[in-house]
Amino acid sequence: MLSSVFSAERLLFTPVAPSSEATPLIFAFPNEYSVGITSLGYQVVWATLTSRPDLAVSRLFTDVQEALPAQPELVGFSVSWELDYVNILNMLESLEIPIRAADRIQSHPLVFGGGPVLTANPEPFADFFDVILLGDGETLLGDFIDAYQAIRTADRQTQLHHLAQVPGVYVPALYQVTYASRDGAIAAIYPIDSSIPAQVEKQTYRGNVLSASTVVTEKAAWENIYMVEVVRSCPEMCRFCLASYLTLPFRTASLEASLIPAIERGLTVTKRLGLLGASVTQHPEFEALLDFIDQPHYDDVRLSIASVRTNTVTEKLARSLVNHDTRSITIAVESGSDRLRKIINKKLDNEEIIQAAINAKAGGLSNLKLYGMVGVPGEEPDDLDATVSMMNAIKQAVPGLRLTLGCSTFVPKSHTPFQWFGVNRAAEKRLKSLQKQLRSQGIDFRPESYNWSVIQALISRGDRRLSHLLELARHYGDSLGSYRRAFKELRGQLPELEYYVHETWSTDQVLPWSHLKGPLPQATLIKHLESAMGHFESPPPLPDRESVTV
């Protein structure tokens, strides 16, 4: 199994041979190989690490591994999904490394992590990591390794203090968190001494050459796919959207310097191409990119595109996808309510959505997938009726086009204007109501788990006290009941589930990530929040800090 998995890989880079003094490093993905190797971020970081002669890199997944060093100096994790923390703890135990950083001694490796989950809010996991890398890895990763190599032989505390000076490198143990009470809100977060930066700033890569796959394999979850990052971030700035706010500014890959060379390179080893990004079709030269892919000698290439902006779904785009063996396209509409779309800053109307469906069918597509959301702050029951009406209007306008509406529950995310709102308790009933109405109309409705949304919100707005709860929930089986059981056992030692998940927080209170600087200052986020609340039918005041219940 081991040899067949790795021998199936076709590399698009050349690893260098480690030097005799190379630092032994384990680079792990806390899930199965097929999932991890499909992560573009994991691929790129692995290739970057193995291109350095001063590192000897071994990969580790939950099901397979390369030959591991007996005494690694660094163990890194790429974290893309919150609940993979269970596998991180399991993998640390399998390596005989204490799961808590405070329990590690000089002979243990430094455990570092990065990826979207840790960049958004690392605090629930902070006690498990010695070092966390915040933001884009293009320069941050190299700076981190260079800084480590400079103090490789120093004692552990010297290493951590030195690494904390690198922009974007967060060393949780060097920051103290105090609370109003054991089960109260956060009182303050501050560095343990004046040599440590008061804030750690997420690092942003601003170049125009973006990422592309470094390996193609039939063993990936998306078999033999070659992925190219077309854009990074999103210019739309929907008020709830982490993918937009946390990754600002919107950046586009150069057509000539990045996209075309990358695609030409990838299509020498596979015939499956994936264009990635939160808003791929908003690349200013997307039409030219499409023309390049539509050349006759690429007729046998299967093309996949991530979710696209609704008003960019043209008949030409649909025809191109059909010609490249794709039968569906995905758009995010969030709601059929104009008022709700104004609240979330979704610059879209129903006529554009219907036109996108018409264009999709005219171009030969057979499926249109839409993403919606319930429980958005300011949502009223009438807004759900508007969504049902919108879906029926689309169905009438394009008979024969298969419609699917995937629907999630609003979850507050750090560094966004809606980070202060909690999960709407009515969301589960609203999902069931939409399901009943739409399925009776022959529309495929696919709700995401409300219970998973609750856990996602817990982790999204969690602080360091959650590390003990996460350990207990893992021990009890990692189900929703496990979390409730863990809360009961830890009562009095941290706030209740209600506080993290459902409460509306004050804009004055210290947030778990207040010491971690995102792209926009809090004052700007509050302005965006106030703009959204101007469209509420009955805007609830955000509570004063003193009135926040815990």
Options 3.30.1300, 3.40.50, 1.20.120, 3.30.70; CATH of 2-201: 3.40.50
CATH 3.80.30.20 fits 224-416+425-448, yes or no: yes
Q: How far apart are CA 48 and CA 39, in angstroms?
A: 14
Confidence of residue 2 (pLDDT cuts 50, 70, 90): low
pLDDT at 541: 57
pLDDT at 539: 63
Mean pLDDT across the chain, nearest whole number? 95
Nearest CA among 276, 277, 361, 351 for reference residue 314: 361
pLDDT at 540: 62
DSSP characters for 336-349? Answer: S-HHHHHHHT----
Residue type (1 letter), 166: V
In sequence order, the 6+-apart residues with CB closer than 8 A to the CB of 253 are 208, 209, 210, 228, 229, 230, 231, 259, 283
pLDDT at 387: 98
Residue 545 predicted with pLDDT over 80: no
pLDDT at 549: 35
pLDDT at 538: 78
pLDDT at 4: 83
pLDDT in tens, 123-139: 999 999 999 999 999 99
Other beta carbons within 10 angstroms of residue 540's beta carbon come to 11
pLDDT at 479: 81
pLDDT in tens, 149-207: 999 999 999 999 999 999 999 999 999 999 999 999 999 999 999 999 999 999 999 99
> Rounded to an integer, what is the distance from CA 476 to the centroid of its chain?
26
Q: Is 168 exposed, middle or buried (0-12, 13-18, 19+ CB in 10 A)?
A: buried
Residue 550 predicted with pLDDT over 50: no
Q: What letter would DSSP give residue 540? A: P
Mean pLDDT check: name the lowest of 1-10, 152-161, 275-284, 451-460.
1-10
- Across 286-312, b (16+ Cβ under 10 Å) vs e yields beebbeebbeeebeebebbbbbbbbbb
pLDDT at 409: 98
pLDDT at 307: 78
pLDDT in tens, 474-527: 999 878 889 999 999 999 999 999 999 999 999 999 999 999 999 999 999 999
Residue 547 predicted with pLDDT over 60: no
In sequence order, the 6+-apart residues with CB closer than 8 A to the CB of 535 are 339, 342, 343, 378
pLDDT at 302: 97
pLDDT in tens, 368-391: 999 999 999 999 999 999 999 999
Confidence of residue 3 (pLDDT cuts 50, 70, 90): low
Residue 404 predicted with pLDDT over 70: yes
pLDDT at 1: 45
Phi, psi at 528, each rounded to 5°? -65, -35
Residue 347 predicted with pLDDT over 60: yes
Residue 55 predicted with pLDDT over 60: yes
Rounded mean pLDDT of 36-64?
98
DSSP characters for 32-79? Answer: -HHHHTT-HHHHHHHHHHHT-TTEEEEEE-SS-BPPPPSS-SEEEEE-
Half-sphere exposure of residue 192, counting CA atoms within 13 Å on the CB side?
10
pLDDT in tens, 216-264: 999 999 999 999 999 999 999 999 999 999 999 999 999 999 999 999 9
The secondary element (H helix, E strand) that includes residue 433 is: helix 427-439
pLDDT at 542: 59
Confidence of residue 100 (pLDDT cuts 50, 70, 90): very high
Residue 105 predicted with pLDDT over 50: yes
Q: What percent of the chain has pLDDT over 70?
A: 97
Q: Which tokens hold the place of 345?
A: 């800053």
Residue 543 predicted with pLDDT over 60: no
Domains of the chain, residue spans: 2-201, 224-416+425-448, 460-547
Residue 544 predicted with pLDDT over 90: no
pLDDT in tens, 418-477: 999 999 999 999 999 999 999 999 899 999 999 999 999 999 999 999 999 999 999 998
Residue pair 127/118 in contact (Cβ under 8 Å)? The answer is no
